[in-house]
Structure 1
């Protein structure tokens, strides 16, 4: 299994792969850095005061909670893009969190609480880049977006160990895809021989949108998982082999 996660973020995928008797090649396109400047703190304060608050990842929850304790206010609604983000919010003290069954941007946008937004302030806690469909869609519904980018992705080169592991592959592997931006970055930075091995991999995508993106990037062997969790991606990889 090939994992595209931030540096230091492969543990859950590694454990899931081990339960299936598989090894893991950890490809990290970037590391995550907390934004601690005054602008980030002020933007977060405004976002957390909105009527509705959206978090796009567990990393956004951890970064926001590091900048200020998360507290809900009367008549607020909190939203998470998926189960992992919702769990992170609950650990941070937010008991009532709405999250979609379909754990992607489209699933979040289908939640009833985000349907009618004319004139409503929506706090959007995230990082620069990624989730490009969410903000325009919320704005199209009339929302006033109060965006707080509380962390950033700092590009890093693929590790020499991961490159060597890819170059040593004798059989096609499975690439777990939960971020189009991560795939694009890796395709741009891998050495040619490692890239050739990656292109032989079967893609297990976390959503139909990501499956389509993988095909646009030239991958032919693409299947779609139920969601972005490691267990979902591993299950889809196993189903595709049978």
Structure 2
């Protein structure tokens, strides 16, 4: 393996939402890999922007605002500026970076477990009895934050600034999958995206995909990948591009 090109001649399937794979694809190329974008999700802004704006403004005047993804930040910032005196929490470093881009610099986020469990371990959420806490994101998901914060006594509000829908999969996505060889990996950080792909791909393309090495963002995603039929799984430190690509670069592609 080349140290300067650790993904040399490795096909890397990127399953990020439609329209968002560009930066990650460029990083794959820089490492010598061959990026293939097959979106597992499409993201859509909530149609009633006026209602979202009213809810979001109220949330920013509360005590704590939790942004559940970088997309949540982007769609919220499209509605109104995110200036606030509330404690702002991001699910992970990527979401914190999106908040910085939106001019919100005082952000707390879990350093290690960058997920709902990590967020719930933050000191800022240890005592939320009677506090106004808002979750900004999309409908769906595990609901762990919602359930745990309500159980802790928070006055909870959920603002859905976008929603996730099934992607449009066509021949430009399927044809590269049918050509996947031994040196191939697929980056997975969303169980919902994985499920959409399983439903959308034709059988020959799906069979090729699960023969690749699944590079996943967490132990939870590892279980989801194994349940979906992947036999080879590598677990990255987080869903951050750097961590996913580091894990992919450490894979041995010699075994079929």
TM-score range, shorter chain: over 0.9
Alpha carbon RMSD of aligned pairs, Å? 1.6
Aligned pair count reads 240
Q: Deviations over 1:34-56 (max 9, x none)?
A: 22413322222222222000001
Distance 1:198 1:146 in 2: 39
Partner of 2:174: 163
Residue number in structure 1 paired with 2:131: 120
Q: What are the residue-to-residue correspondences of 1:146-161 with 2, within 5 Å?
A: 146-161=157-172
| CA deviation profile, 1:11-38 (whole Å, cap 9, x unmatched) | 1220221122101111113322222413
Q: Alpha-carbon deviation of 1:86? A: 0.7
Q: How does 1:1-242 map to 2 (within 5 A)?
A: 1-37=12-48, 38-73=50-85, 76-102=86-112, 103-171=114-182, 173-241=184-252
Q: Which runs of 5+ in 1 are unaligned?
A: none
Highest relative contact order (Cα 8 Å, sep 6+), 1 or 2? 1
Instruction: Give, in angstroms, the shift of residue 157 of structure 1.
Output: 2.4
Match of 2:3 in 1: none
Give the whole-Å Cα distance in 1 for the aligned partners of 2:207 and 2:178: 8
Q: TM-score, normalised by structure 1?
A: 0.93
Please say if residues 91 and 109 of structure 2, whose CA atoms lie closer than 8 Å, have aligned partners that are also in contact.
yes
- TM-fit CA distance, 1:120: 1.7
| Whole-Å separation in 1 of the counterparts to 2:232 and 2:148 | 30
Q: Is the 8 A contact 1:50 1:146 kept in 2?
A: no
> Conserved in 2, the CA contact under 8 Å of 1:172 and 1:200?
no
Moved over 3 A (4+): none
Quote the offset at 1:161 in angstroms. 1.2
Unaligned runs of 5+ in 2: 1-11
Preserved contact between residue 28 and residue 159 of structure 1 (Cα < 8 Å) = no
Asked if the contact 2:133–2:157 (Cα under 8 Å) also holds between the matched residues in 1, the reply is yes
Using the size of structure 2 for normalisation, the TM-score is: 0.88
Measured after TM superposition, the shift of residue 94 of structure 1 is 1.4
Contact 2:68 2:95 in 1 (8 A): yes
